[in-house]
Chains A and B, each alone.
Chain A
Amino acid sequence: MNKRYKYIINRILWGFVVLWGVSLISFGILHLAPGDPARLLLPATATWEEINNLREILGLNKPLHIQYLVYIRGVIKGDLGTSLFYKKPNLDLIKERLPATLILSIAAILTAILISIPLGLIAGVKQGTFIDVLVMFFAILGQSMSIVWFAIFLVFVFSVKLRLLPSFGYGSFRTLILPTVALAFEQSALITRLTRTGMIDVLSEDYILAIRAKGIKESKVVTRYAFKNVLITVTTIIGLTFAGLMGGQLACETIFVWPGIGSLSISAISQRDFPLVQSIMLVVSAFFVLINLAVDILYTFLDPRLRYD
């Protein structure tokens, strides 16, 4: 027991390290960018006075590490700065758009898992058969297709040609379908492959041979013994999926005009809205750190072989 708690505490501390690293990166964006930070933060029409004023207010004249500490102090207090473009506190903007992103992410992950895991299991059990080939073909397709193109393809087929589903919008279940399918397809491919590999590995283990030799029905072998161990792989997969979603999320939110954090970040970058980009980075990273932590902790309960090092 002791070892487990030590491990969990270790992972939590590690999470803080990662967050610290991210804070450095997001703080550094403004200063890495070529050009004077104050000038970057103001519209092109700003006068010398305005630039100097801003420099004073933001403390840009102080040494870098002081600026960083001020930044961190603000973050801890909950002040993530103000957006240059929207002129609102960044945290508010993020809070506004977060639900949309979460809805899409969760819908996509659930769909991906519900489809892929059974597919992967079946393919693993029936390795080498036609079903396996079919599933693998689908998996390779999913991993090779550009989600950008697939999303637009879906719009073309279901919105333009068949007129069945809306091509953009937010709010109703119908608007959720296409973005979810697009996002889920990409992840499904990976999850299917990993589940299949996991199943194949488990089925070839010695203890499965032993169970079969004992005469236990094949269906029981699969469902009770093999599946339990695949669960461990599956948990990893879920953790990975959240991270992998991100690229697809950006694309889908842009294509389907989904009012989430992804589309917010894209517009923030094109508008050179540094404070907003910084805040989004911090919030999203914190989110991923939490998810990874949750997966790690879940692991300690699922896999008795884990050695906590």
Chain B
Amino acid sequence: MKRKSQLFTRLKKSKFFVIGFIISILLIILSIIAPFIVIHDPELPDLDNTLNPPEYFSKGWSGNILGADNLGRDILTRLLIGSRYSFIIAGTAVISAIFLGIIIGLYAGYYGGWIDNLFMRLADIQLSLPSLLLAIAIVAALGPSIPNLIIVLIVTKWPVIARLVRGNVLIIRETEFVSASRVLGASDTWIMFSQILPNILTVIMVVATQLVGHMILIEAVLSFLGLGVQPPIPSWGIMIADGRNYLILAPWIVMAPGIALMITVIAFNFLGDGLRDALDPKMKT
């Protein structure tokens, strides 16, 4: 109990964490309530408003607050709806990658032997290659779609988690309380999940927040290149790709999603950095 309250005190002290946390929560809440608060349609063209510059609040909430794109679609609406896709894709991918990485890391680290060898070699092979290369291969084979995008993200990031978990498992495995549990007759599975896992959760949480940021950016790049989310879905990457052709006439089409991306990723990075500083400033992630 004392440990937890110490943790919260430290968290509250870290300016990074507080800023990151507040902004991240705000963004997530916005993305959840987005479909209920938007006025315009994110995907349907509205040719009356083509290339409308940002009206900010001159028409109250019903104008194109951040402008409209080449098909007259409201930018702010698309940003909000697009955020849902970014969060859902990145969120699903991070949770799945962590899940996969934990299982593999736990078993590889605890049992060692051929399991360890096999998966770590696999991870090494994968880490020797730039992740984009793998991403391209998968998209080339399976075609661009949201599920495939999530698969790509999971495939590129699971080795990071698995290695981290395995490394920690190796250390914790040799501690006295684990040996004591074994002597007392605890099963391997129980030891892995009830004793080792809770101790590595903090590190995993820090890495998780960093991963969210990475994945959002990777999704943006892939969608921009046409390898991720497909139009007319308003992914931020696609918005940037669309807006590129109108940079001179309507720069807001590109600027809005770009700034949105930046704010989002910075928020999660602050969250992760703050978490890391509060939990253990010496942690080398």
Contacts and interface: CB of A to CB of B under 8 A. Distances in A.
A and B found bound together: yes
Interface of A: 14, 17-18, 21-22, 25-26, 28-30, 32-34, 140-141, 143-150, 152-153, 155-156, 160, 197, 243-247, 250-251, 254-255, 265-266, 268-270, 272, 274, 277, 281, 284-285, 288-289, 292
A21 B125 contact: yes
A268 B248 CA distance: 29
A33 B142 contact: yes
Given A33-B143, A266-B225, 12 more contacts: A21-B125, A34-B143, A140-B273, A143-B213, A143-B265, A160-B247, A250-B225, A255-B244, A268-B140, A274-B140, A277-B140, A288-B129
Interface of B: 121, 124-125, 128-134, 136-137, 139-143, 213, 217-218, 220-221, 224-227, 237, 240, 243-244, 247-248, 251, 254-255, 257-259, 261-262, 265-266, 269-270, 273, 284
Most buried by B among A18, A144, A160, A197: A144
B117 to A, nearest CB: 12
Contact of A247 (B131, B137, B247, B270): B131
A149 B257 contact: yes
A161 to B, nearest CB: 9
Contact of A152 (B124, B217, B254, B262): B254
Contacts of A156: 247, 251, 254-255
Nearest to B129: A285
Contacts of A270: 226
29 contacts: A25-B137, A29-B137, A33-B141, A143-B265, A144-B213, A146-B261, A147-B221, A148-B240, A149-B220, A149-B259, A152-B243, A152-B244, A152-B254, A153-B254, A156-B247, A156-B255, A160-B247, A197-B284, A243-B131, A246-B132, A246-B133, A250-B221, A250-B225, A269-B227, A277-B137, A277-B140, A281-B136, A288-B129, A289-B128
Contact of A144 (B132, B225, B266): B266
A148 B251 CA distance: 14
B240 A247 contact: no
Contacts of B227: 266, 269
A274 to B, nearest CB: 7
Contact of A148 (B141, B224, B247): B224
Contacts of B240: 146, 148-149, 152
Contacts of B226: 266, 270
Contacts of B247: 152, 155-156, 160
A147 to B, nearest CB: 7
A270 B265 CA distance: 28
Contacts of A292: 128
Given A149-B240, A250-B221, A266-B225, A244 B254 contact: no
Nearest to A292: B128
Contacts of B270: 140
Contacts of B132: 246-247, 250
A28 B140 CA distance: 11
Contact of B258 (A149, A272, A274): A149
Contacts of B217: 146
A288 B221 contact: no
A111 to B, nearest CB: 19
A22 B124 CA distance: 12
Contacts of A197: 284
Nearest to A243: B130
Contacts of B266: 140-141, 144
Nearest to A153: B258
Contact of A146 (B124, B243, B258): B258
Nearest to A33: B141
A18 B124 CA distance: 8
Contacts of A144: 213, 262, 265-266, 269
Contacts of A289: 128
Most chain B CB within 10 A, of A14, A29, A155, A274, is at A29
A31 to B, nearest CB: 8
Contacts of A140: 266, 269-270, 273
B136 A265 contact: yes
A243 B221 CA distance: 16
Given A152-B247, A269-B136, A251 B258 contact: no
Contacts of A268: 140
Nearest to A150: B258
Given A148-B240, A251-B221, A285 B142 contact: no
Contacts of A277: 136-137, 140
Nearest to B258: A149
A243 B129 CA distance: 7
A127 to B, nearest CB: 12
A17 B125 contact: yes
B211 to A, nearest CB: 13
Given A144-B265, A246-B130, A32 B254 contact: no
